[in-house]
Amino acid sequence: MTVLFSIFLLTLSVITALAIVRTRNLFVAVMLLGIFSLLLAINFFLLDAADVALTEAAVGAGISTVLFIAALALTSEQERDGTRQRWLSLLVVASAALVIVYATFDKPRFGDPNAPVLQHIGPWYVQHTPEYVGIPNVVTAVLGSFRGYDTLGEVFVVFTAGIGVLFLLSARRSRSGQRRPRSDATEIGLRDEILLRVVGRLLVPFILLFGLYVQFHGEYGPGGGFQAGALIAAAFILYALIEGEERTLHALPRRVLNGLMVGGALLYGAVGVAGMLMGSNFLDYSVLAADPVAGQKIGIILIEAGVGMTVCGVLLNIFHAFASRDRVQ
């Protein structure tokens, strides 16, 4: 039954992808991209990759869709006429697809227990994580402790990307240095849509609560800092859509968002430096407490908090950067 449902999802994904390529209405393409991401999230969940599914649903189907819609507010909804290199682009994409399909012929069968990836370091992680880290969620333990350097690099990549996007999408200023006055829905929200405002106001606290649950329960189940940061950012973005950007910035000013971006990355690095100051290696959490396992738990909780802060700050800053720009004529 699971295989049939996976085939059904794959078929829907292919149909959705073809529809995205064929449509010339950018708004329709954005909606289809959100549906495509949701289908991928369901497929990841069926593959027992709950952490990846939660990330895909929150970022791919949620925040990315909102950011694309915000980008459409700056331009037209219709795609411009294609360039002369359309056939060349199609040839490049088709060639890459053929290479990827050919590479899959040498892969082991799906679910094969003797696959090399399942016979290398994976069994060691599963067997020794409770002993060394003491966290039931092996994914969080691996990403936060055993591969802490990789996650630190990802945090700084997100931070750097946020800085770059803010630089490119910084609000246009008038000659006086003040932002131009705005009166569209981005500024005032959906004040005339009573039903949407009521439902949105009811959803915001529950999304925030679920985001905090994902943040602090990520050591015991699917979740973690990245997913939690995306969910909390989604709650504030929803609030901005129904109440307007001005009220959202009053509740969570830009200086707070900038502090989240910088503070989260610094918190992650500070945890690593603390291990060095206590006589161990960088990002070795076992020295943070008398019991090495307890130290690992403390370190992972702190670095996950840093990840959540940075992701939340970056996503909200990007959204406000889109919302505060003037429309491109």
Q: Among residues 254, 207, 233, which one has the least CA distance to residue 308?
A: 233
Other beta carbons within 10 angstroms of residue 35's beta carbon come to 17
Residues 89 and 149: their CA atoms lie apart, in Å, by 37
Query: Backbone dihedral region of 327: left (phi > 0), alpha (psi from -120 to 50 degrees) or beta?
Result: beta
User: Residue 15 above 60 pLDDT?
Assistant: yes
User: Residue 191 above 70 pLDDT?
Assistant: no
pTM assigned to the model: 0.81
Tokens 């085939």 locate to: 7
What is residue 190's predicted lDDT score, i.e. its pLDDT?
A: 60
What is residue 243's predicted lDDT score, i.e. its pLDDT?
A: 81
Domain ranges of the chain: 121-329
User: Residue 172 above 70 pLDDT?
Assistant: no
Residues 55 and 20: their CA atoms lie apart, in Å, by 22
Q: Among residues 200, 216, 203, 226, which one has the least CA distance to residue 308?
A: 226
Q: pLDDT grade, residue 258 (50/70/90)? A: very high
Q: Are 205 and 121 in contact (CB under 8 A)?
A: no
Lowest mean pLDDT among 113-127, 251-265, 295-309: 113-127
Tokens of 55: 């990330």
DSSP 12-72: HHHHHHHHHHH--BHHHHHHHHHHHHHHHHHHHHHTT-HHHHHHIIIIIIIIHHHHHHHHH
